[in-house]
Every structure is written in C-alpha cells, then in structure tokens.
Structure 1
Amino acid sequence: MIEISDVVKRYPLGEGEVVAVDHLSLTIEAGEFVAVVGRSGSGKTTLLNLLAGIDRPTSGTVRAAGADLGGLSESGLAEWRGRNVGLVFQFFQLLPTLTVAENVMLPMDFAGKIPAVRRRDRALELLERVGIADQAGKLPSTLSGGQQQRAAIARALANDPPLLLADEPTGNLDSHTAQAVLDVFARLNAEGRTIVVVSHERDIRAIVGREITLVDGRVVADEGDRAGARA
C-alpha cells in the first residue's frame, strides 16, 4: 500500500533550512493499522502530508495506493487523492454552512466516483455506520466534538478509499470520546482498510498493529507484527 524510499523533506527557515524528514524509508502493507508517534517537531505530520500527496519530498520517492506520487501533476495528485485517500484532521474541518450529510457528500461531488443518484443514500449509510445518522440534517456547529469527528470520518470514507490517513484525530477530544473514535478506526481496520494515524494518544497501542516512532525525521523504533496485515 505504501513504500517510501530514502525520502528527505527540507523547508526553508530564514537564511537556512529545517530538515523535517531525514532519509526515511518505510513500507506499509495493505490492511495494516499503523500509529506514527513522536514528540512535536519529529516529522509526523510532514510524513502524513507526504503520504497524502499534500506535500512533495525534496528527494526520494513516495508510492502509495498504486501510484508514484512524484510522477503526478498537481491535478493528477488531486484526482488520485480524491479516489484513494481519506483524510481525518484534529479540528474536523467540516464546512459550517453545509449540513452533516452535505459535508459527507462533498468529496463524492468532487471525485465523481459515486453516481450522483447514490450520493445522499451513501452519505446516510456512512453516517449510520459511525453512529450519527440522526445528525444528518444538522449543521456541524450543533454537534459535539465527538460527533463532528465521526462526521469527518464518514466524509473521509465517502469515496471508499483504500487508504485512511488521520492526523491527531483524538487530539481535540476528551478521553472517553477519544476512545470511542479510536474504536471506529479499529472496526474499519478489521474490515481490511489500511490506516495510518499520527497520535499522542497513549491508548493507541492497544488497537494498532504497529507503532512507528520518529525522532528528528527518522524512524528510531518500528514495533509490531506485520504478519497480521491483510493482503
């Protein structure tokens, strides 16, 4: 599902530069549930952005979900991302003027992968799946944080992507709600979906199959049994 080969990512900083990812190589098999952990500034979010094609490496190659991302144009990346990657963020990023159902439908409208006549029904099915179908007609501002994050997960699943990427998805939630959201991810992985989560949540170890620790943009620990990955 993912193959990163000798990737470096540098950002300009004043008259110098900062190395966010430093000669990192990594393989993630289809069906794995991987947590990427590390202190602030370790390169976790940069790595996730590289996997999503949101950012490009300074050098090295990133292959994910059947594509060499370096060979795609910006429009090609956007099309690839819309069909193959579901993104979940810490602060939900739901559009405030759209209902919850309309937020879930939006990626379907952009990608064109789901027939127009099926989009609303699919949005309702996904909201049912994450346990908030009764909130479909409401605006995001009327939902709790946990409900908004569930809506964001439903939106990430809109085009049935094989790869789900989440950046601190529980970082803005209380511990009880965070655990409920992590349980949603665990169920999705049990169905065979590949998931990579950047997290500070200590309880993440209980549900992921593999934990990768970054320090200064390098992998310093890679723990877990990849034998459980689903081909």
Structure 2
Amino acid sequence: MEVSGTVISVRDLVKDYPGPAGRVAAVRGIDLDVDAGEFVAVVGRSGSGKTTLLNMLAGIDQPTSGEIRVAGQRIDELRGSRLAAWRGRTIGLVFQFFQLLPTLTVAENVILPMDLCRTVPPRRRRGLALQLLDRVGIAEQADKLPATLSGGQQQRAAIARALANRAPVLLADEPTGNLDSATSESVLGLFAELAADGNTVVMVTHERDLSGYATRQVTLADGLIRADVRACAEPGGRS
C-alpha cells in the first residue's frame, strides 16, 4: 500500500478521561499534519499526552472530539471489524517491550499479521518474512525463538513484523526505552532508513537528541503542541 502527500491529518483533537475531580484533558485541541516519508519524533514528559495521541492515530483509543485522517481514511468514525481491518492494512505498531510471541519463531512472528489479515497469499508469506528480516538485518535469526535473541534483535524482529502487511505508517511507542544506547542508535538509524524509503514513521520517545535521525520533532506538554521543529538537513543516521 503506497501513500503519498499528507498521510496523517489531525484537526482539533481532544481526549478527556474521567477523574476524581471531573474530566481530565490528556489531549487538548491538537492540529497536526504528517507527510509521507517523514520520521516524526513526538517528545514530552510523562503525562504530556504523547502516548494518548499515538493510540488515537492507531485507532486503539477513540477521541472525545476532533477528526483523524490516516492514509485518506477518517478513522475516528470507524468501529469494530472495520477499524480492525483498516489497522491491519495501514498501521504497523512497534512497542517498547517487543510483544513477540515466545512460542513462535522469529519468522513465524513476522508471518502472523499476514495470517490474520490475509493480505499476502499463504505460499508467499515465509519468503516475504525472510525478506523483511533481511531488511532489518537479522535474517539469520529467522528460525530461532525470541528469547534467544538480544534486545536489539528482538526489536528489529518487531519492526519486521510491523512491516509485514506493507503498512505505510509505522507507529512506535518508546521503541528504544528498553535498549542500551548503542542499540538505540541502531534502531533509530533503521527507522530513518525506512522513512527514506517512503514509510511514514511517528515515534513517541523521551529521548531528546534525535539529530541525524528524525526529520521532525514535535514537543507536547499538557496535551498541547509546544514546538514543532523540522530538521535542517536530510537525516542519514549514524549506524
């Protein structure tokens, strides 16, 4: 699925949660556009609203009000099986703790989204999984169980799984939070390469020094965008 132009468009996005003293605003009227091939780092302290924003972009959480369009689809109006089918085709999710199934091999973990969404013919699934594992640099780990891999290798496997259905948008929630600094730089470099290849990457992170990787840094505080800075030069990564 190839998408060009503006891939993510958010208008007047609000998310409230009930609290002991009344409604608490986690996101307070955000406007945001993200183009194809951008690598956007969303940064902010805990409680700033960044994970809430990411979850709404993925359709995991519904907004209280406002509009979200991703790859041309108004997702705040989708529910149930329609939303799940859209997410399977459009969104690749990467988490801090990898979320690989421990009883499946690395290749089987990558094949699983293809089995669930049926976007790839059965006879082609393993071949595509091996191509994706090669793309992220761990093809030789294909038939091993996740527990035998390092943290960095497991995160690369999780990224390959996120790419399994050719999703144009990758959403990553603290993907380097469980990795050492050298491995973190390697994963950030991989995201930069994927964005350069046309994927749209939005990553929530506490990290502040993302120069050379992200094409853009959006800073959230108290549920609002406080800064939106684009890189001065094309990122190339340092890995």
TM-score by length of 2: 0.92
- Is residue 210–residue 226 contact of structure 1 (8 Å, CA) maintained in 2? no
- Superposed, which structure 2 residues align to 1:73-222 within 5 Å? 73-222=79-228
Q: 1:11 corresponds to which letter in structure 2? A: Y
Matched letter for residue 165 of structure 1: L
Aligned to 2:74: 68
**Kept in 2: contact 1:164–1:194 (CA 8 A):** yes
In structure 1, the gaps of 5 or more residues are none
Match for 2:96: what amino acid?
Q
**Of 23, 38, 45, the match for 2:44:** 38
Please tell me the root mean square deviation across aligned C-alpha atoms, in Å: 1.4
TM-score where L is the length of structure 1: 0.95
What letter is aligned with 1:14?
Answer: P
1:123 deviates by 0.5
Deviation at 1:196, TM superposition (A): 0.5
CA contact (8 A) 2:39 2:214 kept: yes
Residue 201 (structure 1) shift: 2.1
In structure 1, the residue matched to 2:13 is 7
**Structure 1: which 4+ aligned runs deviate by more than 4 Å?**
225-228
| Residues 3 and 26, structure 1, Cα contact 8 Å, conserved in 2 | yes
State percent identity of aligned pairs.
64
Q: Distance in 1 between matches of 2:11 and 2:135?
A: 36
Aligned length: 228
Mapped partners of 2:208, 2:105: distance in 1 = 33
Cα pair 2:214 2:231 within 8 Å, conserved? no
SS at match of 1:19: strand
Unaligned runs of 5+ in 2: 1-6, 235-239
